[in-house]
Chains A and B, each alone.
Chain A
Amino acid sequence: MSWSVLSAGVALFGVAGSGEQLNAQERASWSKLEPSVAYLMRGGRPVGVAALIDERGLYLAHRTAVGSNVVTAHLADGREIVMELRGSDSVTQLALLQASEWPEDAHPLKALASMPAPGSKLLAALPTGPIRADYSAGKRVGMLAGSRRLLPLSEIRFAAPESRVGGSLVLTPDGQVVGFLHATLGADETPKNAAAGRAAQDSTGVAAKAMMELAPAPQYGPSEMTVAYTLGPALMRRVIEDFRSATGQVSHPSIGVLARDAPDGDGALLQTVEAGGSAHEAGLKTGDVVIELAGKRIRNQLDLGLVVMEQQVGQSLIVRLRRGRSRLSLPIRVGAQKSAQVGNPESSTAE
Chain B
Amino acid sequence: MNRHDEERIAMLAFGELEGTELAKVQELVQRDSEAAKLLAKYEGMRSDLRLLRDVPPEQLSTDRMRDAILGQGLKPERTRNWFGWVWIPAGAAAFAFFATVMLRQGPDGSGQPTALIENSRPTYVSDFVVPKFGESLSEPDWFADAIGDAAPDVAETSTKTAPVAIRRTITRRNALSKSGSSRSGGLQYAVAEPSRPYEGAPVVVISSERDSETGVRRAFEIDAEGMQDVLVSS
Binding site for B on A (CB under 8 A): 47-48, 64-65, 114-115, 117, 137, 139-150, 152-153, 160, 164-167, 181-186, 190-198, 200-201, 204-205, 207-208, 211-212, 214-215, 222, 228-229, 254-261, 268, 271-272, 283, 292, 295-310, 318, 320, 325-331
- With a cutoff of 8 Å between Cβ atoms, the chain B residues found around residue A137 in the complex are 201
Interface 1/0s, chain B 209-227, versus A by CB < 8 A? 1110111111111111111
Instruction: Given A142-B203, A306-B194, verify A325-B214 contact (CB < 8 Å).
Output: no
B218 smallest CB distance to A (angstroms): 5
- With a cutoff of 8 Å between Cβ atoms, the chain A residues found around residue B153 in the complex are 283
Check B205–A142 contact: CB distance below 8 A.
Answer: yes
Check B223–A192 contact: CB distance below 8 A.
Answer: yes
- With a cutoff of 8 Å between Cβ atoms, the chain B residues found around residue A139 in the complex are 195, 197, 200-201
Check B159–A200 contact: CB distance below 8 A.
Answer: no
- With a cutoff of 8 Å between Cβ atoms, the chain A residues found around residue B196 in the complex are 299, 302-303, 306
A195 smallest CB distance to B (angstroms): 8
Instruction: Given A142-B219, A258-B232, A302-B227, verify A328-B214 contact (CB < 8 Å).
Output: no
Check B234–A259 contact: CB distance below 8 A.
Answer: yes
- With a cutoff of 8 Å between Cβ atoms, the chain B residues found around residue A325 in the complex are 159
- With a cutoff of 8 Å between Cβ atoms, the chain A residues found around residue B223 in the complex are 192-193
Selected from A64, A147, A255, A296, the residue in CB contact (under 8 A) with B193 is: A296
Check B218–A141 contact: CB distance below 8 A.
Answer: no
Question: Is B154 an interface residue, CB under 8 A from the partner?
Answer: yes
The 3 closest A-B pairs by CB, nearest first: A166-B215, A197-B226, A166-B216
- With a cutoff of 8 Å between Cβ atoms, the chain A residues found around residue B211 in the complex are 166, 184
Instruction: Given A141-B204, A327-B157, A330-B155, verify A183-B232 contact (CB < 8 Å).
Output: no
Check A196–B229 contact: CB distance below 8 A.
Answer: no
Question: Is B19 an interface residue, CB under 8 A from the partner?
Answer: yes
Interface of B is mostly: mixed
Interface of A is mostly: mixed
Q: Which residue of B has the minimal Cβ distance to A296? A: B194
Question: Is B164 an interface residue, CB under 8 A from the partner?
Answer: no
The CA-CA distance from A194 to B19 in the complex, in Å, is 36
Check A330–B154 contact: CB distance below 8 A.
Answer: yes
Instruction: Given A185-B219, A200-B222, verify A141-B197 contact (CB < 8 Å).
Output: yes
- With a cutoff of 8 Å between Cβ atoms, the chain A residues found around residue B159 in the complex are 325-327
Interface 1/0s, chain B 56-82, versus A by CB < 8 A? 101100000000000000000000000
Question: Is B127 an interface residue, CB under 8 A from the partner?
Answer: no
Binding site for A on B (CB under 8 A): 18-19, 50, 53-54, 56, 58-59, 150-151, 153-159, 191-198, 200-211, 213-234
B76 smallest CB distance to A (angstroms): 26
B233 smallest CB distance to A (angstroms): 4
Check A271–B231 contact: CB distance below 8 A.
Answer: yes
- With a cutoff of 8 Å between Cβ atoms, the chain A residues found around residue B233 in the complex are 147-150, 254, 257-258, 305
- With a cutoff of 8 Å between Cβ atoms, the chain B residues found around residue A149 in the complex are 232-233
Check A302–B208 contact: CB distance below 8 A.
Answer: no
A143-B230, A208-B209, A296-B192 are known contacts; what are 15 more A-B pairs with Cβ within 8 Å?
A: A139-B200, A152-B197, A164-B215, A167-B216, A182-B206, A183-B218, A186-B218, A195-B226, A211-B207, A254-B234, A259-B234, A295-B53, A295-B192, A309-B234, A328-B156
A276 smallest CB distance to B (angstroms): 15
B142 smallest CB distance to A (angstroms): 16
Check A164–B204 contact: CB distance below 8 A.
Answer: no
Instruction: Given A165-B214, A260-B232, A301-B230, verify A114-B220 contact (CB < 8 Å).
Output: no
The CA-CA distance from A177 to B7 in the complex, in Å, is 34
B103 smallest CB distance to A (angstroms): 62
Instruction: Given A144-B206, A297-B193, A308-B234, verify A320-B222 contact (CB < 8 Å).
Output: no
- With a cutoff of 8 Å between Cβ atoms, the chain A residues found around residue B224 in the complex are 300, 302
A213 smallest CB distance to B (angstroms): 11
- With a cutoff of 8 Å between Cβ atoms, the chain A residues found around residue B213 in the complex are 164
Q: Which residue of B has the minimal Cβ distance to A149? A: B233
Selected from A160, A302, A331, the residue in CB contact (under 8 A) with B203 is: A302
Check B192–A153 contact: CB distance below 8 A.
Answer: no
Check B221–A190 contact: CB distance below 8 A.
Answer: yes
- With a cutoff of 8 Å between Cβ atoms, the chain A residues found around residue B155 in the complex are 328-330
Check B194–A303 contact: CB distance below 8 A.
Answer: yes
Check B154–A184 contact: CB distance below 8 A.
Answer: no
The CA-CA distance from A261 to B198 in the complex, in Å, is 14
Instruction: Given A117-B19, A198-B229, verify A146-B234 contact (CB < 8 Å).
Output: no
The CA-CA distance from A142 to B216 in the complex, in Å, is 15
Q: Which residue of A has the minimal Cβ distance to B54? A: A295
Instruction: Given A197-B226, A255-B234, A260-B232, verify A145-B205 contact (CB < 8 Å).
Output: yes
- With a cutoff of 8 Å between Cβ atoms, the chain B residues found around residue A200 in the complex are 205, 222, 227, 230
Q: Which residue of A has the minimal Cβ distance to B50? A: A295
